[in-house]
Chain A
Amino acid sequence: AQRVTQPEKLLSVFKGAPVELKCNYSYSGSPELFWYVQYSRQRLQLLLRHISRESIKGFTADLNKGETSFHLKKPFAQEEDSAMYYCALKSGANNLFFGTGTRLTVIP
């Protein structure tokens, strides 16, 4: 069965500091992984897909199959990065399974 684990419910960093949001997964097949973000009073939106290997808003995430991880990183946090972040794994008929989320607070 698939499982997504985000070990940190809350994460606080100072503006300008590096940030890493952890995500580990368990899946028997070839994983398709995503990061979603939910800013205050806004709907969930896609941030990154592992397949595209892109950088969005300064965030990157690398799939490490050996460690079954897909951590989200940004070298210099900004106040506008404060949000709820969800790691998600796609399986089966296009279904997404989400972790429990990490609330990131960037302190000015």
Chain B
Amino acid sequence: NAGVTQTPKFQVLKTGQSMTLQCAQDMNHEYMSWYRQDPGMGLRLIHYSVGAGITDQGEVPNGYNVSRSTTEDFPLRLLSAAPSQTSVYFCASSPGQGYYGYTFGSGTRLTVV
């Protein structure tokens, strides 16, 4: 099993550009989420999904969109990139409710100039 796969690993965008960060898992996990990691702020939840067709906002959703058309994929879209969105983005998945931990992807380092 590949686990949670994120692409790309690195990306540089210009202010105003849009892009999609990809996340895929092959563990048939119901729950998937996106976090951003910033120095001194830990990980903050952007959006999450409890199953195909269901998404909801986390702590810091502004400027981001998500969709969950399949169980496996949970892409994160930046609509109009801003320098404040420079961060490391992590995707995570979990089997669902219960005392399960998350499986994390390796992250995408995004720089907006």
Is this pair of chains taken from one and the same complex?
yes
Q: B33 contacts which chain A residues (CB < 8 A)?
A: 95-96
Residues A43 and B105 in contact, CB atoms below 8 Å apart: yes
Residues B31 and A101 in contact, CB atoms below 8 Å apart: no
- Whether A44 touches B45, Cβ cut-off 8 Å, given contacts A94-B31, A94-B94, A95-B33, is no
Give the interface size bracket for A toward B.
20 to 34
B99 interfacial contact with A, CB 8 Å: yes
The answer for the CA separation of A98 and B41 in the assembled complex, in Å, is: 9
The answer for the CA separation of A43 and B25 in the assembled complex, in Å, is: 15
Among A60-103, those with CB < 8 Å from B are 86, 93-101
Q: From B101, which residue of chain A is reached at the shortest CB distance?
A: A46
Residues B43 and A34 in contact, CB atoms below 8 Å apart: no
Residues A43 and B97 in contact, CB atoms below 8 Å apart: no
- The one of A9, A32, A46 in contact with B102, judged by C-beta atoms closer than 8 angstroms, is A46
B56 interfacial contact with A, CB 8 Å: yes
- Please report A residues at the B interface, Cβ cutoff 8 Å: 6, 9, 32, 34, 36, 43-46, 49, 51-52, 86, 93-101
- Please report B residues at the A interface, Cβ cutoff 8 Å: 31, 33, 35, 40-45, 48, 50, 56, 58-59, 90, 92, 94, 96-97, 99, 101-102, 104-107
Nearest 7 A/B pairs, CB to CB = A46-B101, A100-B42, A44-B104, A98-B43, A51-B99, A98-B42, A43-B104
Question: Can you report 25 residue pairs joining A to B where beta carbons are below 8 Å apart?
Answer: A32-B99, A36-B101, A43-B104, A43-B105, A45-B104, A46-B101, A46-B102, A49-B101, A51-B99, A93-B31, A93-B48, A94-B94, A95-B33, A95-B45, A96-B33, A96-B45, A96-B92, A97-B45, A97-B59, A98-B35, A98-B42, A98-B43, A99-B42, A100-B40, A100-B42
